[in-house]
């Protein structure tokens, strides 16, 4: 399974894609995030976010300055104050996650109006 990764600045969405793993430069040290990671929130220090698109791939390094990282049930979101100017914007549409139950249908009221 893939990890959904988003990189956002105050100006725009930089990345929104499914990847294998991301290594984040947390203020308390680097931490790696894979699909299924426990929820966590951390401040990030100036450094490089390492994005592994597939298992065993060479990472893409994205320079970031300050911000926060949040891991939740929807994946990893990095909210960076600044991102290196050489970063390609890459936003991949994501299919909505199914809840496992059928959608509710509206019914007309019983007995009419």
More confident residue, 96 or 57: 57
In a domain, 97, yes or no: no
pLDDT tens track for 21-32: 999 999 999 999
Domain limits for position 78: 3-87
In a domain, 21, yes or no: yes
pLDDT tens track for 82-107: 998 777 676 776 555 545 555 555 55
Can you point out the beta strands (E) in 1-113? 3-8, 13-19, 21-26, 29-34, 40-44, 47-52, 60-72, 75-83, 90-91
So what's the pLDDT on residue 1?
Answer: 74
In a domain, 45, yes or no: yes
Average pLDDT score over the chain: 86
pTM here is 0.77
Give me the CATH number covering residue 33: 2.60.15.10
- Cα angle value 105/109/113 (rounded, 5°): 140
């Amino acid at each position: 399974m893939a990890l959904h990764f988003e990189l956002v600045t105050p100006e725009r969405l930089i990345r929104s894609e499914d990847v294998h793993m991301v290594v984040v430069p947390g203020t308390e040290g680097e931490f790696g995030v894979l699909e299924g990671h426990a929820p966590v929130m951390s401040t990030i220090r100036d450094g490089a976010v390492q994005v592994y698109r597939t298992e065993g791939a060479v990472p893409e390094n994205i320079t970031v300055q300050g911000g926060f990282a949040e891991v939740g049930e929807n994946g990893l979101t990095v909210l960076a104050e600044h991102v290196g100017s050489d970063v390609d914007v890459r936003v991949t549409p994501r299919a909505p996650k199914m809840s496992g139950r059928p959608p509710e249908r509206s019914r007309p009221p019983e007995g009419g109006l």
